[in-house]
Amino acid sequence: MVVSIRVLVISAALPVFLAAEPTVRPVTFTKDIAPIFQAKCQECHRPGTAAPMSLVTYEETRPWAKAIKERVISRNMPPWHLDKTVGIQHFLNDRSLSDAQIATIVKWVDEGAPKGDPADMPPPKQWPDDQGWVLAKQFGQPDMVLKSEPYTMPAHGQDVWFKPLTDIQLTEPRWVRAVEMRPGSLAGRKIMHHVLAYLIQDEANNNADLAQSPMNAGLLMEWAIGKNYDIYRPNTGKLLLPGSKIWWELHLHAVGEEIRDHAELAVYLYPKGEEPKYRTRLMLFTGMSKRGTLDIPPNSIAETTGYTVLHSAARLENFQPHMHLRGKAMSMEAILPDGTVEMLSYVDKFNFNWMNNYIYTDDAAPVLPKGTIIKITAWYDNTTANRNNPDPNQWVGFGDRTVDEMSHAWVNVTNISDEEYKEWAAAHKKGARMPTGDTVQ
């Protein structure tokens, strides 16, 4: 691997707003805005959630009208920070606003944010209980819920990495079709920077996993604000073996009040006896050559680049950038064996407070041949222009603390054989464009 770190001078780009033609009639909350908020905003902005305000009723929303306009024009809300002009644009979990929806919200605010006719108000959207699981609607109740030991985080102190073990009570191999993770309470969201659930099991006799450590099957799930679950595509999953354990990593930080909480992992299994054909693994694609090489000078914008070779043909299921407070942007590119370079995804407005997971749709997920190089490029803003920056006068290096930095992307990778890749290429016709824009060879 090769890493480069360059100090750049880049002028801040103004937000680009492609205004759609607004409707001629007056825009009202009850008829036009409430349906948008129900579809895109109320999952977080409703009573009992971690969001700072509810956007359910007109009375709750009206005081925030000007702030809402600013946030949607800049595309900071809803939190979907992907550049819409390059790379793959089809996602299973896309919560971004369309240009037409943004134009409607802007027109509503500019016209004085009128309420409208109460008869136009859509019925309130029914949300699951806050203690319920999001995926229960799709899969039913989870087959098992694994909980870490609790930890009490003091009001003030250094970051903590709590790493307990939890047994998975299985007597036979079982395949996982989805996982969902959360802190045990809303208060726990304040102190949890992220939670990792490593799967520890004896893989020594599993020939499909020889590339892995014999006692470590990799990461089962990673939680952070903005990512709650993983759903594996049909005929794809992760394997749990008898005697397996979850090795948790709870990264906790003090927030001015003492909070005690734990992490919870819901596991949704395939029916007994049903084995998917493909095994997917959550991989870390680095944006550096190795740990410890990141070095960001004070008052600067820096760039790092890292490379990972695919040792078998594979489908990439998602893109989830991970950086800390100085994180500015991250891209994932594929360098094909013939030298063709294709941008897969580019997050140009990375926000540390939202670790978004961009899940590709079935027809858009990139399918790549053996020998493809995945290039991860990350940019950091260590200047006063970065509102999250605690101190632009400090040198920043690699580390696990929130005030340190990182550079990687979490990607679920499903390996396929060379023959299966050739079949896929033939089905998409030689010379045709892949969903990513690549030319099939």
Of the two residues 10 and 199, the one the predictor is more confident about is: 199
pLDDT at 336: 95
pLDDT at 125: 87
Nearest by Cα to 19 from 106, 105, 85, 103: 103
CA 232 – CA 165 distance, rounded (Å)? 25
Residue 52 CB-density burial (10 A; 0-12 exposed, 13-18 middle, 19+ buried): exposed
Of the two residues 281 and 20, the one the predictor is more confident about is: 281
pLDDT at 341: 95
The proportion of the chain whose per-residue pLDDT surpasses 90, expressed as a percent, equals: 57
CA 226 – CA 359 distance, rounded (Å)? 12
pLDDT at 205: 52
> Residue 256: which pLDDT band, with cuts at 50, 70 and 90?
very high
pLDDT at 13: 37
Please give the average per-residue pLDDT across 19-33, as a whole number: 76
Spell out the domain ranges in the chain: 14-120, 142-276
CA 104 – CA 115 distance, rounded (Å)? 14
CA 215 – CA 201 distance, rounded (Å)? 5
Our CA dihedral for 285, 289, 290, 292, rounded to 10 degrees, sits at: -120
Amino acid, single-letter form, for residue 146: L
| Position 98 pLDDT exceeds 80 | yes
- Packing angle, helices 65-73 and 99-110, rounded to 10: 150
pLDDT per residue as tens digits for the range 392-405: 999 999 988 888 89
pLDDT per residue as tens digits for the range 271-291: 998 899 998 888 889 988 776
Of the two residues 49 and 124, the one the predictor is more confident about is: 124
Cβ contacts of 181 within 8 Å, gap of 6 or more = 195, 197, 221, 222, 223, 228, 229, 263, 264, 265, 266
> Residue 433: which pLDDT band, with cuts at 50, 70 and 90?
very low
CA 417 – CA 276 distance, rounded (Å)? 15
Please give the average per-residue pLDDT across 355-372, as a whole number: 91
Cβ contacts of 437 within 8 Å, gap of 6 or more = 342, 343
C-alpha Rg value of the chain to the nearest Å: 23
Question: Buried (b) or exposed (e) across 159-181, using 16+ Cβ within 10 A?
Answer: bbebebebebeeeeebbbbbbbb
Compute how many other C-beta atoms are within 10 angstroms of the C-beta atom of residue 129: 8
As given in the structure block, the two tokens for residue 35 are: 């349906």
Query: In the chain, what is the straight-line distance between the N-terminal and C-terminal CA atoms, in Å?
Result: 26
Phi first, then psi: what are they for 73, rounded to 5°?
A: -65, -40
Residue position matching structure tokens 């007109």: 58
**Most confident of the ranges 33-42, 50-59, 219-228:** 33-42
Nearest by Cα to 373 from 1, 6, 3, 56: 1
Q: Are 303 and 8 a contacting pair, CB within 8 Å?
A: yes
| Position 6 pLDDT exceeds 60 | no
Taking CB atoms within 8 Å and a gap of at least 24, the contacts of 382-389 are: 382/296, 382/297, 382/298, 382/299, 382/300, 382/301, 382/302, 382/326, 383/299, 383/300, 383/301, 384/299, 385/12, 386/325, 386/326, 386/328, 388/325, 388/326, 388/351, 388/352, 388/353, 389/325, 389/326
CA 250 – CA 194 distance, rounded (Å)? 6
Q: Are 189 and 255 a contacting pair, CB within 8 Å?
A: no
Please give the average per-residue pLDDT across 37-43, as a whole number: 89
Report how far Cα 418 is from the mean position of its chain's Cα atoms: 29
| Position 209 pLDDT exceeds 80 | no
pLDDT at 221: 86
pLDDT at 52: 82
- Average confidence score pLDDT of the chain: 85
CA 287 – CA 305 distance, rounded (Å)? 5
Q: Are 193 and 224 a contacting pair, CB within 8 Å?
A: yes
The topology under which CATH files domain 142-276 is Jelly Rolls (2.60.120)
Q: Is the pTM of this model over 0.75?
A: yes
